[in-house]
Amino acid sequence: MERTVNFYLRGMELGNPQAHEDMVLFPITARLNPGPDYITLDEALEKGLFEVGEVGPGGSVPELKATNKGEKPVLLLDGEELRGARQNRVLNTTIMIGPKTPVVIPVSCVEAHRWHGPSLRMERSDHVMAHQIRRKKMDQVHRNLEVNRTFRADQSEIWADIDRMAFSLQVESPTGAMSDIYEAMEKDFKSYLQAFALVPEQKGLLVFIESQPLGLEFVSRDTAFSRLYQKLLKSYILEAISLKYENKAGKKGGQKNKENSKEGSGVSPEQARAFIETAGQCEEKRFQSIGLGVSCRYRGNSMVGAALEIEGSVPHLAFFSISNGKAQNRSWGQEENFPQLRLRKRYLFDEE
């Protein structure tokens, strides 16, 4: 029997590529089974149909309690940020929570130096975890599922990566918050957001940077994708901005960067289709999801991926390149001195 994710990958239709500097985006549309009639986390929170907060007065770094009070399932996306309570968190995996259902959800902290707040409740955010860190988190969760059957990530590594990115982008954040990086880069986002316009009935995107594939994202309902589009897009744009800052810092030749910029718009549909085909060849492992459906995890020689499958439909899938091109392989130099970097081997917070 054909895997459900392969049916969805094969059914994706690529739109005309959009380009800005070194970044190229292929819009994706599809005439596929959209699955359950769900709404997004943002929409549910805005309508007062959903609550997320600490699991108890003392809180727990890797867990939050979510309650769907509405009549429709709610889709929470891998990497989607929730702000407030004792510290900001992101989802460790894509989850769909059924109507009138409470669920304890697995999360990672993206604000290392705060453990207090006026309320135990979380609020919506305009951010998804930066692509480079999200890709690593996805692989960490995959490995923990294989060994421990838990949707856990390497918390210390996430904190370290956020501190490193903040240092690279020259962003000061008293609490080590990922959201402070996004807010500091707001002016840098502007030209990219104008260049990559949402197309009618769009349900996904495939992004290249410096002519190399970065990642593929798909949401089964265009109404849901349109709500998620900008914050998903910004998570990929931040990768391009980070590379620009590295170029300015002299880590790469500026002339080479200009040449890549001219070549970027030449990424072909065949290259895009090849990435999708490679995704379909990844090994699949299946685990019981938190909430509805099955969490399908994928790994191949050049990519890692995940999909939520519910009764023969795929509400969300994502595949990220892990070994193609410089943007995916670059590592933070060990010789660098990060004045903000505080590597922690255990959860350590100031008391209220």
Q: What is the pLDDT of residue 252?
A: 54
Q: Which amino acid is at 209?
A: I
pTM: 0.90
Residue 270 placed within a domain: yes
Residue-averaged pLDDT of the chain: 90
Residue 256 placed within a domain: no
Q: What is the pLDDT of residue 148?
A: 94
What is the band of 247 on the pLDDT scale with cuts at 50, 70, 90? confident
CB atoms within 10 A of CB 163: 21
Domain range for 81: 4-248+263-326
Cα–Cα–Cα angle for 181, 216, 294, rounded to 5 degrees: 100
Residue 351 placed within a domain: no
Residue 253 placed within a domain: no
Strands 74-76 and 39-40: parallel
Q: What three-state secondary structure class fits 280? A: coil
pLDDT of residue 158 exceeding 50: yes
Q: What is the pLDDT of residue 244?
A: 87
Q: What three-state secondary structure class fits 291? A: strand
pLDDT of residue 68 exceeding 60: yes
Residue 107 placed within a domain: yes
Residue 340 placed within a domain: no
Average pLDDT in the 74-100 region?
98
What is the band of 339 on the pLDDT scale with cuts at 50, 70, 90? very low
Q: What is the pLDDT of residue 2?
A: 85
What letters, b where the CB count within 10 A reaches 16 and e where it falls short, cover 54-92? beeeebebbbbbbbbebeebbbbbbbbbbbbbbbbbbbb
Dump pLDDT digits (tens) for 183-222. Answer: 999 999 999 999 999 999 999 999 999 999 999 999 999 9
pLDDT of residue 246 exceeding 90: no
Separation CA 170–CA 220 (nearest Å): 37
Residue 136 placed within a domain: yes
Separation CA 346–CA 65 (nearest Å): 22
Q: Which long-range contacts (CB under 8 A, 24 or more apart) does 327-334 make?
A: 327/209, 327/210, 327/212, 327/214, 327/239, 327/243, 328/135, 328/212, 328/214, 330/246, 332/161, 332/164, 332/168
Q: Number of folded domains in the chain?
A: 1
Which spans in the chain are helix H?
4-10, 41-46, 131-148, 155-168, 178-184, 186-195, 222-248, 254-264, 269-279, 326-329
| Sequence-distant (≥ 6) Cβ neighbours of residue 182 within 8 angstroms | 126, 127, 234, 238
Dump pLDDT digits (tens) for 31-46. Answer: 999 999 999 999 999 9
Q: What three-state secondary structure class fits 168? A: helix
pLDDT of residue 333 exceeding 50: no
What is the band of 315 on the pLDDT scale with cuts at 50, 70, 90? very high
Q: What is the pLDDT of residue 342?
A: 44
Percent of the chain with pLDDT over 90: 84
